[in-house]
Structure 1
């Protein structure tokens, strides 16, 4: 399966795409998660009822891997990838309606199936000024999606190059606590090379 991931990577990102040995543990965990392999997931310490928080250095391939591995996922686990900056810009233009779009109205049309989102570059967005108030859009989205995870099994994915302390400084201790409950943490090795 890792060879398949490497082949898909070359197809999408060009002949320079390769899977480094240092990244194999991360890819193994992601494969177990997206293929819903109970045995491997349990051996890797993953809870298939939670989402994913994929962390690592800038340029290590977090977003690229999510794009490749989402192709293997069943529809309910196939995330729509959305940049956190884009979500915040949408909020700046349309206001609280955007919070609903990514939370209470985040269900597949004509069904009660929750829509999975992958929020890319979590922690890199700015506070948004809306009607004179600075607002932490992603903190509100995460809090709302936590409630929906508890009540509707809604899964959330995110990529970030921030560590836990940096995320807490941006979003506060309440969001950090909810993130522990929402996410399996999968971390690239700090020495994973920049692949861009």
Structure 2
């Protein structure tokens, strides 16, 4: 999927870094599954504020992000301007 992303960031390197941090924090069993890459790429683009990639994915950087998991819990990320 990364070959579709036109960005100056290396999303493969970011995913590798995230996996290494996950292993450090949670142990050797931590792995980002390849099937999860599409959503992880979108999250990376949002948090890096990578405008061209967000445009490709239809992500509006001026809106807040709400993450919701399998449990009835939601996390809201406020998009503050620094």
How far, CA to CA, are the matches of 2:35 and 2:54 in structure 1?
19
CA RMSD, Structure 1 to Structure 2 (Å): 2.2
Q: Aligned residue for 2:20?
A: 7
For the pair 1:27 / 2:40, whether they are aligned, the reply is yes
How far, CA to CA, are the matches of 2:40 and 2:31 in structure 1?
12
- Give, in angstroms, the shift of residue 36 of structure 1: 0.7
May I ask how many residue pairs the two structures share in their alignment? 64
* Long gaps (5+) in structure 1: 59-120, 123-155, 159-196
Correspondence list, 1:145-184, <5 A: 156-157=76-77
How far, CA to CA, are the matches of 2:68 and 2:34 in structure 1?
17
- Which structure has the greater CA radius of gyration? 1
Q: Aligned residue for 1:51?
A: 64
- Give, in angstroms, the shift of residue 22 of structure 1: 1.4
Deviations 1:31-82 (A, max 9, x none): 1011110011111111111111223435xxxxxxxxxxxxxxxxxxxxxxxx
Give 1 or 2: higher strand fraction: 1
Correspondence list, 1:1-196, <5 A: 1-58=14-71, 121-122=73-74, 156-157=76-77
If the length of structure 2 is used for normalisation, what is the TM-score? 0.67
4+ runs deviating over 3 angstroms: none
Q: Secondary structure at the match of 1:16?
A: coil
